[in-house]
Amino acid sequence: MPDPSLLAQLLDRQEITAVMAAYARWADLNQPERQAATFVQDCRVSYHPGDWIAGREALTEQLRAALARYVQTSHHVSNIEIDFEGPDTAAAQSAVIAWHRRHDGSEWTLYGRYVDRWTRTEAGWRLAERELRAAGAVGRDDRELPPLGRACGTPT
């Protein structure tokens, strides 16, 4: 029989993965309140370098303003890695492709990474912290986005 605690972790991974998908789904449906409900009340969130949003109310307003800049978006989350730090907390990373179409018809695509902390609440797993990092972007100057931290390797 496999280790019961590892099986219990599989159930937790499944739930976290589902909430990651819901975050993206509510974004693309332009439902900022529901998107923010994937976070705990006292969450910390950063979409720009050094700029941390504190708390779900502030986050909701920022998401509302951000989503209103677009007529269409599509967020695609993969490469999910979850490391449990205790029974009720986890660190997680995932990769995202986020396509955006602005009101003027122009588009930009983010190739990014979410760096998260998750907490188990009475209502299930929720995001306690999410930091966006950008591998790059097309259709937008990505020097204004938070860098991924790629090593500066050169051929020898």
Q: Can you give the binding site for a copy of itself, defined by CB under 8 A? A: 1-4, 6-8, 10-11, 13-14, 17-18, 20-22, 24-25, 28-32, 64-65, 67-68, 71-81, 93, 95, 97, 99, 101, 107, 111-113, 135-136, 138, 142, 148-156
Give the chain's end-to-end CA distance (angstroms, integer).
Answer: 49
Task: For residue 141, give the DSSP letter.
Answer: -
Distances (CA, A) of 68 to 1, 31, 104, 134, 152: 51, 10, 13, 21, 36
Of 42 and 115, which CB lies nearer to a copy of itself in the complex structure? 115
In angstroms, give the least distance from the CB of 15 to a copy of itself: 10
The C-alpha atoms of residue 110 and residue 143 are separated, in whole angstroms, by 12
In angstroms, give the least distance from the CB of 126 to a copy of itself: 16
Of 122 and 141, which CB lies nearer to a copy of itself in the complex structure? 141
